[in-house]
Structure 1
Amino acid sequence: MRSKILYVYQFFKTPDEGGIIRSYYLSRALVEGGYAVEVITSHNQPDYLRKEIDGMTVHYLPLRYEQSFGTLRRLYVYSVFVAKAIRCALQIRGVRVCYVASVPLTVGFIGLAMKWFRNVPYYFEVGDLWPLTPIQMGYFSNPLVQRVLYGLERYFYRHARKIVALSPAIQENIQRRIPDPGKVVCIPNIADCAFFYPETKDPGLVREWGLEGKTVVTYFGSIGKVVQLESLIRIAQAGQTDSGVQFLVAGTGSELERLKEQAGNLPNIRFLGHLSKDQLKRLLNVTDVVYLSYLPVPALETNSPNKLFESLAAGKLCVINIRGWHCDLIEAEGCGFYADPAMPAVFFERLKPYRENPEKLRAVSSRARQLAETRFSRQRLSAEFTALFELREKENHADASLAHL
């Protein structure tokens, strides 16, 4: 009988749905590794749904969530998901390991419930440093609330069998703060090198998008407060007399309408709305530069943006407006640079050598792709992920052998 892994992630997506599909790929890796996998997630439909998807059983809990939701409504949705997911998880029999993926931090309660009531160990995935990130962004200003949240964080970490950090910076941060740092491993976001890859621009797509003769700078992803896309608007404003650069923004979120108003009638920036993964691939075909944007918050310097890894796989020059491990990485590997959000005009100075020398841009593309293949490929990281559970299987067999002595 195959060992069963329960994977809990509120925002599970398949490739057909688009969005962040790390959880899909890691779940598939477990299936291919011989495990039985059940996933608990949510959807915007009114009823519970159970589906068989590519060898895994997915439980969709009815819970509406939109990127446009405000803070209080998001906190409410997170809390309801935890309650519903605990109820669902406790009904699933034969689970050997429960894997809970944050954000939000509160998913740790699901892991604790499985440990307390089913004697099932849990692995805790940390995608962002909670509660440090929202506190540094100005949320949860009450000192008592902060102490409670930090206490929960420590408690979840202490009781987790493994902690899976999405970046080396998150891994180091957690290791400094817990008594058993050896249980913290790093499995960063995945570069889907089979789907995204460097391509020659399709002339038909260039004409379709009206981008003839343009250097195309693209932002794609969610558009909320955390990404502070005002920095890109300011760059577009600084370069509105330069007809050779076109800015494209693909995504939705709570800040979209406000950003559109701020952009006004700028001729060099367009908003494209949400794109599926196939549509994103078409967009990246005509893109020269991918822009990554975040608030100047120290905790965000540790994050692991999915869009970075997709961009590397597609061989794009990556520009980021925040310092941190990701900025250090792309600069060290020669496939991107830092753009100070306080100096928008400097962006064009840094971009100029790549516009004037196409060979320089092609060399960046090659280095970005090599980085994606050697450090962040789906095959490599899926194997590392599956190995975490293989080690657990060996521990179980060893315990069983000792019990019979």
Structure 2
Amino acid sequence: MKVLILHQHFNTPQKGGALRSYYLAKALVDQGIQTIVITGNNEAQQRVEHVDGIEVHYLPIAYLNKFGFYKRSGSFLKYIFQSVNTASKFKDIDVCYAISVPLTIGLAALWIRQRLGIRYIFEVGDLWPDAPIQVGVIKNYFFKQFLYSLERIIYQQAASVVALSPMIKAAIEKKTPGKRVHLLPNMADTDFYHPEEKDVQLEEKYSVKGKFVVSYMGAVGFANGLDYYLECARNSQKAALPIHFFLCGDGAMANRLRESAKRIQLNNFTFIPFTNRAGIRELMNITDASFICYKALPILETGSPNKYFDGLAAGKLIVTNFGGWIKEEIEQRGCGFFTDPKHPTDFTKKIQPYLTDSALLKQSQQKSRALAEEKYSREKLSIAFADIIRSEKRS
């Protein structure tokens, strides 16, 4: 069997960033399925690499988190044309697996289906165009209607759809009644991340010995609403709480957040540049609580952020400032808490029991790890993904 994966933002463990598409491709390779990935990179030339048995075609298409709307759109359009052209070189592809975002990946999958006769499965990690519309990036009425029409066509023409969260699955089933929709959440790499005692040398390296550490690790974009995270740090500083905050990542809002932190004179806050997976594991070692942050928009409550699953795997207290299925899950499982996005002082109130009761903190952290192993382990979900791919070949 031969599978083609389309994902413009494919990352490897050595590079860092979100690794879902790597995990999926590796799952197929481990099951003896030949796997080809077409992705983009910021280099000037097209190249091919073999990564852990995966044949990866890197297209010369620049993309950075700090790109504005029009520059991002140009990058997305380039990927459509170049990925389809590259796909036409392969023979005997059984299934194409197209990973959004953006929604335009679906155009490439549609074109491959029509031009090459290859059926496709469409993966939905964020509901497009709902997300950019609610965030306010897309405002033109006619463009909105065009994107909604495109969304319906992509779902209808897909052999099936994969949703990353229960809320996304329900939304797709409502938009496209009768369509087969699989639920396959992000994976917790329980082999790479482990609950562990804090390394004294790392505590000294980051100057946090004796501190309770809260970390945000991920994209630093407009939708992440990290002004709230800074406000949590400011209120903790005012309350003289023994907490240190880390923000590790990069994106369009990074410089503005640095300026804000300097202006309000935070001395309990550290920025760490984007790093690879080994760097994240190092930061995880000294972290007590993993913070998952978004702007207060309903559409952002449907997502399945990688940082949530990394925090679970590493056995961390989970803190969120948004509603939806993750809020419900951490509250039901006792592995974290919700802090009101309208009131940063809510964080300082709710975190205090964990500062004074180490047994309570340990209990919540253990529940995080148990949830990762039980429901989201990479091993279990890899098998489920391979089964989805095989089922589409048979159908």
TM more than 0.5: yes
CA contact (8 A) 1:218 1:287 kept: yes
Structure 1 residue aligned with 2:340: 340
C-alpha distance in 2, partners of 1:326/1:53?
A: 32
SS at match of 1:270: strand
SS at match of 2:11: coil
1:271-350, aligned counterparts within 5 Å?
271-350=271-350
**Once the two structures are superposed, what CA deviation does each residue of 1:346-369 show, in whole Å capped at 9, x if it has no partner?**
211101111111111111111000
C-alpha distance in 2, partners of 1:386/1:227?
A: 32
- Superposition deviation, residue 275 in structure 1: 1.6
- Structure 1: runs of 5+ lacking an equivalent: 396-405
**Once the two structures are superposed, what CA deviation does each residue of 1:246-271 show, in whole Å capped at 9, x if it has no partner?**
11110111101101111113111111
CA contact (8 A) 2:159 2:392 kept: no
**Once the two structures are superposed, what CA deviation does each residue of 1:268-304 show, in whole Å capped at 9, x if it has no partner?**
1111111211011010100011111101111111000
Q: Choose which of 217, 229, 233 in structure 2 pairs with 1:232.
A: 229
C-alpha distance in 2, partners of 1:394/1:75?
A: 36
Structure 1 residue aligned with 2:57: 59
Counterpart amino acid of 2:104?
Answer: T
C-alpha distance in 2, partners of 1:271/1:386?
A: 38
Q: Choose which of 156, 159, 177 in structure 2 pairs with 1:158.
A: 156
- Superposition deviation, residue 60 in structure 1: 0.3
Identity score, percent: 38
SS at match of 1:360: helix
Counterpart amino acid of 1:282?
Answer: E
1:38-53, aligned counterparts within 5 Å?
38-53=36-51
SS at match of 1:140: coil
Counterpart amino acid of 1:346?
Answer: D
Structure 2 residue aligned with 1:189: 186
C-alpha distance in 2, partners of 1:141/1:54?
A: 43
Counterpart amino acid of 1:230?
Answer: D
C-alpha distance in 2, partners of 1:127/1:25?
A: 15
- Superposition deviation, residue 179 in structure 1: 2.5
Counterpart amino acid of 2:145?
Answer: R
| Structure 1 residue 392 corresponds to structure 2 residue 389 | no
| Structure 1 residue 198 corresponds to structure 2 residue 195 | yes
Counterpart amino acid of 1:5?
Answer: V
- Superposition deviation, residue 394 in structure 1: 3.2
TM-score, with structure 2 as normaliser:
0.98
Q: What RMSD over aligned residues (CA atoms) do the two structures have, in Å?
A: 1.0
TM-score, with structure 1 as normaliser:
0.95
Structure 1 residue aligned with 2:12: 14
SS at match of 2:175: coil
- Superposition deviation, residue 153 in structure 1: 0.1
C-alpha distance in 1, partners of 2:50/2:66?
A: 30
CA contact (8 A) 2:164 2:183 kept: yes
- Superposition deviation, residue 243 in structure 1: 4.9
C-alpha distance in 2, partners of 1:214/1:336?
A: 19
Moved more, 238-247 or 95-104: 238-247
CA contact (8 A) 1:243 1:268 kept: no
Q: 1:348 to 1:243 in 2, by over 3 A?
A: closer
| Structure 1 residue 361 corresponds to structure 2 residue 361 | yes
Q: Which 4+ residue blocks in structure 1 deviate beyond 3 angstroms? A: none
Number of residues paired by the alignment? 392
SS at match of 1:152: helix
C-alpha distance in 2, partners of 1:140/1:245?
A: 38
